[in-house]
Chain A
Amino acid sequence: MSRRSGLPAAAAALLCAALSGCRGIQSSLDPAGREAAKISGLWWLFFYVCTAVFVLVLAFLFYGVFRRRSEDALGARERGKTYVAIGAGATAAILLLFLVVSVSAGREIAEPAGPDALKVQVIGHQWWWEVRYPASPANRTVVTANEIHVPVGRPVFLELLSGDVIHSFWAPNLHGKKDLIPGRINSHAFTAKKAGVFRGQCAEFCGLQHAHMAFTIFAETPERYSAWYEKQLAPAAEPSTPSQERGRQVFVSNSCVFCHAIQGTPAFGQVAPDLTHVGGRGTLAAGSVANNPGNLAGWIADPQSIKPGNHMPPMLMAPEDLLAVTDYLESLK
């Protein structure tokens, strides 16, 4: 009876898997990186061995319970000791196997990234990700938010810092997670093996909007990556229409500049995402909504209804100013 009742749960899980298809852009079972692939291999080994053990132990249990012949002779009890000892020995042997494969996988994953690794700094904030590509000379440093572009095949070395509370960086298709802890610098390295767009999300509870603290990783061919990088180095695009011109004017004369920066304008705020190339990003508010003019205007006018509790105050401005600012920001590709 007990065994049968477990089935609905398994069936439900399978059904869910079937319904959502194979789009696993945030899934540890669809590895696209060297590290995630190793971990996924480890999981399947664990899964098959543990399932076999589980079935075997329960089979023994139910056979023992429902066996018709009673057995309580002294000899049988002595044999019981042998069975328990065999069971304990088998448990220890399986654990030893798990230990060996786990530690060796851990060692491979933890190999330090070589000198050719791409170095990226990720700084966690409530509730968004600051992403910096440090370079020398310093004017080749790229700063963006909530998006990380990496070349396929080249190791990426992440320096993880926090600006406030503890966060955790997790892009399951590429690697497991690593915490961002105030007062410490953690390192995390992965290598993307397949091109693609992957999603990641903060995995350490960090307050009100922990649920809306996502980021996107673009694993691209080295050429496309270089093209993106060069584009990011340029200052913000100049307005090309009167509406965009007005939008820039509204932006720099409003309180926006206290928090946001747009390279090439007088906006140098450092506490909120850099907007120099915001128009080129796929999402707004750390993966909360798609980046399009409607969502952007809605976000500027009333960020608290999209992401309650976030640190951006509502911007009170005339409707035409709002449209102009939106127009301008969307032009910053």
Chain B
Amino acid sequence: MKTSREPVRKPPAAPEPAPLPAALPEAELPAHEREELRRAFETQRGFFGSLKSVDHKVIGKRYVITALVFFVLGGIEAMTMRLQLAKPENSLLGPDLYNQVFTMHGTTMMFLFAVPVMEGLAVYFVPLMVGTRNVAFPKLNAFGYWIYVLGGAFVYGGFFLNRGNDTGWFSYVPLSGPQYAPSHRVDIWANMITFTEVSALAVAIEIIVTAFKQRAPGMSLNRIPLFVWSVITTNFMVIFAMPAVMLASGYLALDRLVGTHFFNPAEGGDPLLYQHLFWFFGHPEVYIIFIPALGMVSTILAASTKRPIFGYTALVLSVVATAFLGFGLWVHHMFATGLPQLGESFFTVASMMIAIPSGVQIFCWIRSLWGSRPRMTTPFLFVLGFFFIFIAGGMTGVMLASVPFNLQVHDTFFVVAHFHYVLIGGAVFPLFGALTFWFPKLTGRLLSETLGRWTFAVMFVGFNLTFGPMHWLGFRGMPRRVYTYLPEMGWGPANLAATIGAGMLGVGVLLFLINAARSLRSGEAAGNNPWGASTLEWATSSPPPPYNFERILVVSNRDPLWKPEEMAVVTGMRTDRREVLTTRPLDAEPDHRAVLVGPSIWPLFLAFALAVGLVGSVFTPWAILLSGFLFLVAMIGWYWPKGEPSGHNARTAS
């Protein structure tokens, strides 16, 4: 292998760096090789072909779109709840339907929207940002998406047949146990958890391996884009957190389906065990949603200010510290259960300490913005909104770490307000900023700035109007998860304000969707790098070709596109097969050429086999047997050898 490092023609002193092909002519392949590469990587045509796709961009887009569909469903549920609570003793929803709706809202937003949308963007952008052609395990990637969408369809199928879980997204035992929830509602929910967690684990593994083994040569650990760092961190958290909730929901399913007694106090089980398992996952889950958003904030800030983010090392270490601390504070969800006081103090300290890395990040961002005269584009406005809302939510978060204070506001609307401030402010605002920012890369077209600003303004006002008054409601004694309240409690006006705000928030999301639909039809063409950003996803066309880059780029600093004169390309890669360059984890020195698998129907079949077991076991344990058989068939198909032997030759060639 050789890398070409000839000095590159420098563009005449222009403020914007030149588009890459002009700055780096070697990055272009001869036409026939480009055609060969396209044939090697493209998704097969037709409906059947699309089911076989293993292109990370196709799958990533599917993740994002599916997650946004669930976001809209969860939002409709939220607005239904807000309508019910708009006035005291409202009769729009009865208690049974209300309980199903609030459970579906939480379940949808946590399991079917927030995690998958972040994973979807990671699946799409990590290979582009590290400069490779596909994720490390393309078939696993496809499988992850199929199992996610089947799980979502399963739980919504149940909901539309009046089998939505009515015991809360946390489904505490014994309320969700066989004695108090005898119908299939909880079974469907518990098995849905397994679907989505399997999917998250699949993504986690392929993202980590891609980010550690397939980076562009020269992209050593200290040159990895901040978004990729945050995604790597998140996916390590997924690997440690998701098994806990699968245990919790798995034990619950066993208690319900085959009569075990993990959580039954009468037989030596313990309801608190469930809470520990659930929150050992549940709290890190919040950071799994929120840490990718931190990467988005850094990405948008750097592109808006046209200069590197201040304190790269501090930011990376803060993200990693947040991930570690995130596993040490689950008990602050359980302060009211009567645990020993000394133990609770430990979790108070851990919960407060997490404000330190968050603070460091905010200070680094403020320093990055200091005197930078950023461009006030829509993504940047969403980042400003993020600062306002997230810092407010962080403040109430620090308060909640205090045991005595927590005992007053726990399970009240104060907590509802707090976590919507951190999750909507901390994750959804950056997400909408990032969707606006990356929309041109995904589609080749820019979103309208005017509509984008309106989207932001309406969402920002609507958000604060919805969740601001809820702080006060919590102090005035309104508990969570109540389907109605008495008129004499005096909670009516604040609830009405919140309902109006929720309507505005809904209008904001609608504006975003209208903007996206309009741009898809008639949006302004984006070009390769409309924001003048520095990371590698902007070094290719919008949308990127199936092979991402014509030649693998060589990187020599953190902001390669801002210094195209220092870039180089890898030559000598084969273009007639799905070849990627693997590099060493630390310094990204080239290691060997690996060949990735191509399109396959087996991921879908395997997802189907697993779904048969998970859906069927709600009704009969025999479904596991059938599922096992289908699983075997799927595995044989999955590993069936075909074509040229992939590994050996390629390895020796490098």
Q: Which residues of A contact B (CB under 8 A)?
A: 1-3, 5-6, 8-10, 12-13, 15-17, 19-21, 23-24, 26-29, 35-36, 38-39, 42-43, 46, 50, 53-54, 57-58, 60-61, 64-65, 67-72, 76-77, 80-81, 83-84, 87-88, 91-92, 95, 98-99, 102-103, 105-107, 109-110, 126, 164-166, 168, 170, 172, 175-179, 181-184, 186-187, 199, 201-211, 287-288, 308-309
**Residues 329-376 of B contacting A (Cβ, < 8 Å):** 336-338, 341, 344-345, 348-349, 352-353, 355-356, 359-360, 362-364, 366-367, 369-374
Bound form: Cα–Cα A244–B550 in Å? 94
B349 partner residues in chain A, CB cutoff 8 A? 99
B404 partner residues in chain A, CB cutoff 8 A? 35, 38-39, 42, 102, 105-106, 109, 176
Given contacts A3-B388, A50-B395, A88-B363, contact A178 B175 (CB under 8 A): no
Bound form: Cα–Cα A53–B360 in Å? 14
Rank and list the top 4 A-B pairs by shortest CB-CB distance, nearest first: A176-B407, A183-B265, A9-B468, A20-B490
B372 partner residues in chain A, CB cutoff 8 A? 64-65, 70, 72
Bound form: Cα–Cα A20–B337 in Å? 32
A106 pairs with B175, CB closer than 8 A? no
Cβ of B399 < 8 Å from any Cβ of A?
yes
**Residues 438-476 of B contacting A (Cβ, < 8 Å):** 457, 460-461, 464-465, 467-469, 471-472, 475-476
Chain B residue with the shortest CB-CB distance to A67: B371
Q: 22 pairs across A/B with beta carbons < 8 Å?
A: A5-B464, A8-B465, A23-B490, A26-B477, A39-B404, A57-B362, A71-B370, A87-B363, A91-B355, A95-B352, A95-B398, A98-B402, A102-B348, A106-B341, A106-B404, A168-B336, A177-B408, A181-B272, A181-B338, A183-B265, A208-B99, A211-B482
Given contacts A177-B336, A186-B338, contact A12 B352 (CB under 8 A): no
B411 pairs with A53, CB closer than 8 A? no
B172 pairs with A61, CB closer than 8 A? no
A61 pairs with B369, CB closer than 8 A? yes
Chain B residue with the shortest CB-CB distance to A9: B468
- Among A24, A204, A208, the one with the most B-chain Cβ atoms within 10 Å of its Cβ is A204
Given contacts A95-B398, A203-B410, A211-B482, contact A84 B311 (CB under 8 A): yes
B371 partner residues in chain A, CB cutoff 8 A? 64, 67, 69-72, 76
Cβ of B270 < 8 Å from any Cβ of A?
yes
Cβ of B412 < 8 Å from any Cβ of A?
yes
Bound form: Cα–Cα A187–B471 in Å? 28
Cβ of B497 < 8 Å from any Cβ of A?
yes
B631 partner residues in chain A, CB cutoff 8 A? none
Bound form: Cα–Cα A99–B482 in Å? 32
Shortest distance between the CB of A70 and any CB in chain B (Å): 5
B270 pairs with A42, CB closer than 8 A? no
Shortest distance between the CB of A189 and any CB in chain B (Å): 12
A12 pairs with B367, CB closer than 8 A? no
Select B337's contact among A15, A98, A179, A199, beta carbons within 8 Å: A179
Shortest distance between the CB of A207 and any CB in chain B (Å): 6
Cβ of B174 < 8 Å from any Cβ of A?
yes
Select A87's contact among B338, B359, B409, beta carbons within 8 Å: B359
Select B493's contact among A19, A65, A164, beta carbons within 8 Å: A19
